[in-house]
Chains A and B, each alone.
Chain A
Amino acid sequence: MAVVTRTPSEGVVLKKSTSSSTFTRVSRYVVVRLLTLFATVVIGVYLTIMIANMGGYVDQIMRNEVADRITQSIAANPAMQQLDPNARKKLIQDRIAAEEQRLGLDVPIAIRNFRYLSNALTLRLGRAINMTSDSGSKQVRLIILERLPATLLLMGISQLFLFFSSVFLALNLSRRYGNFWDKLVVALSPTSAVPAWFYGIFLILIFAAVLKVLPFGGMVDSPPPSNSFDYALNLLKHLTLPALSLVLSSFFLSIYNYRTFFLIYSSEDYVEMAKAKGLASRDVERRYILRPTLPNIITNFAFLIITLWTGATITETVFLWPGLGRTLYHAIGLYDIPIIVGSTIIYAYLLAITVFMLDFVYALVDPRVKVGGR
């Protein structure tokens, strides 16, 4: 109705404003969006830092631990026992002060939080407090880089397989829905209420403990095979169970969701129309079902890529897989705030970039969507 009653002059003005200011509209949108996303990252990371030291509570734990450790080590050292009590007391205090300085405990917590924040935002990940990489470095960057391949391998293989197989199978099921396989998937979809590590325990029980065909955990045998073909084979053997448990835990629900999603779209009028026109079912699928669902599929895929980063903490722990998730869990146990913050900031940046990019991708794949448009 609005279109009909609108006077011609209004229409002209409207058209003019949209055509001339696409650039300003997009650039204003980009600036505002980037600023809000950055603010979100800053607040999110600051909150994580606050939680990582429980508002100073963790400092107290670390101080007590340092005092305890140094007092103990000096008391246990026979060379120090000859010292007179005052000198020994001073020595202990000096050592404690030095150790607290090394850990950064001499700076007030509020300042330290901001220092962590600014270092994190500029991606200066710094040095870990207690953890070391396998090569002996304390650089957070190196520790993370060392564990990244393991996580990427496990998560990459399982999640990519999950994604492509479930989209493919879902498309097939939606084509002939109501048949036996379709009903089976619907019936099995509640199995995804069970998390991956839980399937992991069952798989370990069956394949490692009872059948003794696959290893209990770890990434390669120790010592690792020297030639690279055997190494790859060995890796694959260790990878099977954790990857299988990750796939198994979301397989049926994932197919079910995509299938339902495709079915809803394939009951649209324009699909009926295309079928009535006599288009080949492949074309109907590609142009009329897949195309409008593309933004959602892309979103899912993008978020899937980000989750590769976080790893699967508990599955990795159950399978003793040396990935990022397990490292993060260890870091928390050792009060290693730089690693916690480092892992969080990278995740936050990846998330922000993805969310930002998705807006543009939507505009690319869906002509109805305009960047920054209402």
Chain B
Amino acid sequence: MNALKTSFRKILYYPSAIVGLLVVFLLVATAVYAMVSIPYDEAIRLWRGGEEVWYQNPKFAPPSWINFFSSKKYAESFSVRTTDGSLVKEVTPGAEGTATLSASYAFNFTYDYYPQDLILYFTSNFVEKQPFVSVEWLTPDGRKIRLTNLALTQKQAYRFSQDDKLKNRLRTEDIIPFLFSDPETGAPVKGQYQLLITGATFEPDSNVDIEFVFHGQVYGLAGTDQSRRDLVIPLLWGAPVALAFGLIASLGTSVLTMIIAALGTWYGGWIDELIQRITEINLVLPFLSILIMIGTFYSRSIWVILGATILLSIFTGAIKSYRSIFIQVKESMYIEAARAYGASSPRIIFLYLIPRMIPLLIPGLVSAVPAFVFLEASLAVLGLGDPVLPTWGKIIQDANSNGALYRGYYYWILEPATLLMITGLGFAMLGFALDRIFNPKLRDI
């Protein structure tokens, strides 16, 4: 054990190992942060949520920070509502239970690209007489455009870009650019815009709540996908999923392989023979095809795939190399001594044989993690990702199937791909260094 400790201390002499350790540490920290800040159920609800959860976000929006790198600025998204006071509504009671209401929202528009859309959501309650609102638009250069007059139903959405009457009245095909640009030059006008909503209710308890949603061209830290979902959630939650899959598969595979190799060499005879035959049969089985078949026919759950992966990865070439080393160790003096004083077979296998192999096990285990992390991503890219869990591979698959590369949504692929790459390289670098530390034969080379 002391030798193991000094071996680990040697890690500090390898810069690549330090980088690798740092990456692994950061990943674990991210995973813990993800699980604490967004509990599992909440993450699933958000990831599986549709329009009703994500209506405030634009579609296919790159992250906001791309504005730092671009001389032309993209409009950022925001939303305000009367229910939490971010949009102020004034109600003045009138005669016979009627009331007039007015709300206005001023915001600065300093961007070079128009937003995707502007939407007003009205939630109102009334018994018979519908509330009435009219919406107006004030531009920085002093124009005042009447947008619409609405008799409200219980829930009503008004999408600026879809208003055909307004298109006719303004004689334009695209309302949003029209609202934000100079009518002469057609260039975007920067400055303070104002949205004015005035209306009236006609019953004593009638009430109107308003939400104003501004779908910009960019959103948040990570951008959004085809169903307006904030990519921060799958990016964060991808970390614990990838770590769990990679580590469990790698640990399960290498520990089980070692135990089976130890049992085979210790008992010899037909057990050893059987293990060797199974290894040869496993060589014939098409690994990826079987995983694809399980994913297509049976279950896409990540845990089923994980189990199948471990089962198929136990009986591989690794079992042969462990076996050849166990055969040497089996003949060594201390094993003979243990036998002489009557140690039982399980005791010898689990307390004397297997611990000798830990220096070999650790580098192999760490180096195998990236393969499994990428296996999960590969299956996801083939459309066989877990249907419930958000993973990095699933983001890539969503992006790929929505033609992200063709349509120029590079952020969508680059974000998960970078995270996968960092994870893979981190573990690989650590595993490489550990291999050199624990295998003296390689140390000088």
Contact = CB atoms under 8 A, between A and B. Distances in A.
Interface of A: 36-37, 40-41, 43-45, 47-48, 51-54, 57-58, 61, 177, 187, 189-195, 197-198, 201-202, 204-205, 208-210, 216, 260, 263-264, 310, 313-314, 317-318, 328-329, 332-333, 335, 340, 343-344, 347-348, 351-352
A352 to B, nearest CB: 8
Contacts of A191: 425, 428
21 contacts: A36-B277, A44-B285, A47-B281, A48-B290, A58-B297, A190-B428, A191-B425, A193-B367, A193-B374, A197-B378, A198-B374, A198-B420, A204-B405, A205-B405, A205-B410, A209-B406, A313-B288, A329-B382, A344-B284, A344-B285, A347-B284
Interface residues of B, number: 47
Contacts of A209: 405-406, 408, 410
B432 interface: yes
A143 to B, nearest CB: 16
A185 to B, nearest CB: 12
A47 B286 CA distance: 10
Interface in B14-36: 16
B285 A48 contact: yes
Interface string B265-277: 0000000000001
Given A332-B292, A340-B289, A344-B289, A205 B425 contact: no
B371 A193 contact: yes
Contacts of A318: 381, 400
Contact of A194 (B370, B413, B429): B370
A49 B2 CA distance: 50
A212 B432 CA distance: 37
Contacts of A45: 284
B396 interface: yes
B341 interface: no
Interface string B418-433: 0011001101110110
A48 B420 contact: no
A124 B282 CA distance: 24
B297 A195 contact: no
Contacts of A41: 284
B208 to A, nearest CB: 47
B3 interface: no
A52 B294 CA distance: 8
Contact of B445 (A204, A260, A352): A260
Given A40-B284, A48-B290, A177-B445, A197 B371 contact: no
B421 A195 contact: no
Contacts of A328: 289
Contacts of A347: 284, 286
A195 B286 contact: no
A238 to B, nearest CB: 16
B33 to A, nearest CB: 24
Contacts of B277: 36, 40
B53 interface: no
Nearest to A310: B286
A310 B442 CA distance: 33
Contacts of A264: 441, 445
A279 B290 CA distance: 53
A54 B298 contact: yes
Contacts of B282: 44
Given A195-B374, A216-B406, A201 B293 contact: no
A44 B284 contact: yes
Contacts of B283: 44, 351
B175 interface: no
Interface string B381-408: 1100000000000001000100001101
A256 B427 CA distance: 17
Contact of A314 (B16, B382, B410, B421): B382
A343 B286 contact: yes
B445 A194 contact: no
B280 interface: yes
Nearest to B368: A193
B374 A194 contact: yes
Contacts of A47: 281, 285
Contacts of A344: 284-286, 289
B284 A205 contact: no
Given A54-B297, A195-B374, A329 B417 contact: no
B425 A40 contact: no
A197 B381 contact: yes
Nearest to A194: B424
B156 interface: no
B296 interface: yes
Contacts of B280: 36-37, 40
A191 B405 CA distance: 23
A180 to B, nearest CB: 16
B378 A190 contact: no
Contacts of B281: 40, 43-44, 47
